[in-house]
Amino acid sequence: MMNVEGLQMRYGEVDVLRDVSFAARPGEVLTLLGPNGAGKSTTIEILEGFRLRSAGRVEVLGVDPAHADESWRARVGIVLQSWRDHGNWRVRELLHHLGLYYERPWPADELLAEVGLTDSAGKKIRMLSGGQRRRLDVAIGIVGRPELLFLDEPTTGFDPEARREFHELVGRLATEYGTTILLTTHDLDEASRLADRILILNGGRIIAAGTTAELTAAIAGEDEVRWSVDGRGFRKKTPDSTEFVRGLFAQYGAELRELEVRRASLEDTYLALVAS
């Protein structure tokens, strides 16, 4: 679905992207993580065809985005961090109108149900809450049934319930409809929940790639187990905390107290990488 090899982007004397390479498979949720200024937005804009690269090879759906036509754009969905619409459009009215530009659009009522906006179908856009507006953004991005969907910081400003519902929607798009999704986020929990694979971008380079489990095991290291026996506290680093705890119960039984297992997390991994 996407192949990027040796991607470079330079502004004057500043290298924003340096030798970035990765690929995305059909139906995969690929998450791009990195601090501000790492080059995430530039990478996304190049893949979307909105910015010309300085060097490297890029193919998205088999086409160089720098030379893509309207038929290619109809196969791609984009949800930006924010965009403007005329506030007097009504929700269903807007989705129906946008669907007219595609050969095989998602029917407006089905799409409203999918993103949880059925009850807001007749509302003017300016009357929507922040969470409702973001759902509409997603609906606009997928109205043409895209094969590839770009989501740029999609849950910024969401409350916990709205974030959970959005995560469920992203999961359905990938698993039920086979949509390939490239997601950028600062939310490490979101990345861990949604991503099939994670790319960590820092200083214009991809410094790590893999599943949450692979990155955590390779970088953040071992789990830490803490416990006490007869008032004495102990701690131990171990690659297999489950097996180690079984051994503790076998050894100490009911004497075991204050057992705590701290598993290495994606956050540990991320912080270790960007700080190095």
Is the pTM higher than 0.95? The answer reads no
pLDDT score of 82: 67
pLDDT tens for 124-139 read 999 988 778 888 888 9
User: Which of 43-47, 137-141, 225-229, 235-239 has the least mean pLDDT?
Assistant: 235-239
pLDDT above 80: residue 142: yes
Sign of CA dihedral 135, 213, 21, 61: negative
C-alpha dihedral sign at 120, 121, 122, 124: positive
Structure confidence at residue 21 (pLDDT): 96
What residue type is 265 in one-letter code?
Answer: S
| The pair of three-digit structure tokens given for residue 94, joined into one six-digit string | 């807007």
* Helix, coil or strand: residue 56: strand
Note the helical H segments in the chain: 40-48, 70-73, 91-99, 108-114, 130-142, 160-175, 188-194, 212-215, 241-252, 266-275
Summarize pLDDT for 73-102 with one digit per residue, the tens.
999 999 877 666 678 899 999 999 999 999
